[in-house]
Amino acid sequence: QKEVEQNSGPLSVPEGAIASLNCTYSDRGSQSFFWYRQYSGKSPELIMFIYSNGDKEDGRFTAQLNKASQYVSLLIRDSQPSDSATYLCAVNHSGGYQKVTFGIGTKLQVIP
Amino acid sequence: DAGVIQSPRHEVTEMGQEVTLRCKPISGHNSLFWYRQTMMRGLELLIYFNNNVPIDDSGMPEDRFSAKMPNASFSTLKIQPSEPRDSAVYFCASSLVSANEQFFGPGTRLTVL
C-alpha cells in the first residue's frame, strides 16, 4: 500500500462546477497535509495546507481533513479552465516534519 | 526574488556517463530538498539538507546517487554512472526550516540513452 493514495484521474468537470479531489494516507502520526498544484511541464506550487480536523477555506479552495479516517480532500468551487492541472496531495512523516510524501496526483480537466 | 534556480534545464546523456545537476536555493532559505518525478512513481524525495547538513538521504535510490551542499547557496546532485532508468525530472526545492511551504525550482529533465 502506498503511503499517500490518490486517484490519478483524469477528473473532468464542467466550468462553474465543484471539483472534489480526494486523498488517503497511511501514517497515523502525520500532522501536516498539503495540496500542491502542478501545471503540465511546470513545477509544483503550494495552494493549501491544513493541520486540524475540519475545513479550511481560502477563496474558491477548501481543504478538508479527517484524521480518524486518514482522509484529506480539496474542493474547488466555481471551477475555471485555468484550474486544469494535476493536484498533488502531500503528507508529512510523523518522524520528521519536513519529510513529505507526495501522492501520484489527480489530473483535473475543467471543460468550458 | 529569482526563485530557486536549477541548471541545466535539460540534459541528454548516454548510459554510463556522469551527470551533475545544480541548484541555487532562494536566498535566506536554510532547507533544501531534491526530488525526482516520473509518471510511474510520482514525486519522490531523494534527500534534504538543513543548514547545509544532510538530514535524511533514505530516498537516494542507490550508491550511484550522491548530493552535496558545500554552502548555503549551492547544491549538487550527481549520478555516476547514469542508467536509462534514471530518466526523470529532478526538482530542487527550498524553504525555511520553520516554514511549511517548499518552493520548487523549474526542474531538470534528464534523459539517459
For chains A and B, CB pairs below 8 A equal 42
- Report yes or no: B44 at the A interface, CB cutoff 8 Å: yes
pLDDT at B70: 96
Residues with Cβ within 8 Å of B66's Cβ and at least 6 positions away in sequence, in order, are B60, B77, B78, B80
The arithmetic mean of pLDDT across residues A16-41, rounded, is 94
pLDDT at A93: 79
**What's the N-to-C CA distance of chain B in angstroms?**
36
Segment holding A89, helix H or strand E: strand A85-93
Cβ of A43 within 8 Å of Cβ of B44? The answer is no
A85-93/A106-111 β-pairing = antiparallel
The arithmetic mean of pLDDT across residues B58-86, rounded, is 95
Looking at the partner chain, which of A88, A99, A103 has a beta carbon nearest the beta carbon of B56?
A: A99
Q: How far is A69 from chain B (nearest CA, A)?
A: 23
pLDDT in tens, B49-61: 999 999 999 999 8
pLDDT at B61: 87
The distance from CA A24 to its chain's CA centroid, rounded to whole angstroms, is: 10
Taking CA–CA distances from B106, the nearest residue in chain A reads A43
Q: How confident is the model at residue B97 (pLDDT cuts 50, 70, 90)?
A: confident
Rounded-to-integer distance, Cα A105 and Cα A22, Å: 10
Q: How confident is the model at residue A54 (pLDDT cuts 50, 70, 90)?
A: very high
Q: How far is A102 from chain B (nearest CA, A)?
A: 6
The arithmetic mean of pLDDT across residues B85-94, rounded, is 97
Q: How many CB atoms lie within 10 A of CB B48?
A: 25
What is the share, in percent, of chain A residues with pLDDT greater than 70?
96
Taking CA–CA distances from A31, the nearest residue in chain B reads B100
Report helix, strand or coil for B1. coil
- Report yes or no: B49 at the A interface, CB cutoff 8 Å: no
pLDDT at B1: 63
Cβ of A96 within 8 Å of Cβ of B91? The answer is no
Total residues found in chain B within this entry: 113
C-alpha cell at A92: 508529512
pLDDT of B95 above 70: yes
Cβ of B56 within 8 Å of Cβ of A96? The answer is yes
Q: How confident is the model at residue A99 (pLDDT cuts 50, 70, 90)?
A: confident
pLDDT at A96: 66
CA-based nearest residue to A63, from A75, A52, A53: A75
The arithmetic mean of pLDDT across residues B28-37, rounded, is 96
pLDDT at A5: 94
pLDDT of B93 above 90: yes
pLDDT in tens, A65-87: 999 999 999 999 999 999 999 99
pLDDT of A10 above 70: yes
- Report yes or no: B90 at the A interface, CB cutoff 8 Å: no
Rounded-to-integer distance, Cα B48 and Cα B36, Å: 12
Average pLDDT of chain B is: 95
Burial letters for A42-61: b for 16+ Cβ neighbours within 10 Å, e otherwise?
ebbebbbbbeeeeeeeeeeb
pLDDT of B9 above 90: yes
pLDDT of A43 above 80: yes
pLDDT at A95: 67
- Report yes or no: B25 at the A interface, CB cutoff 8 Å: no
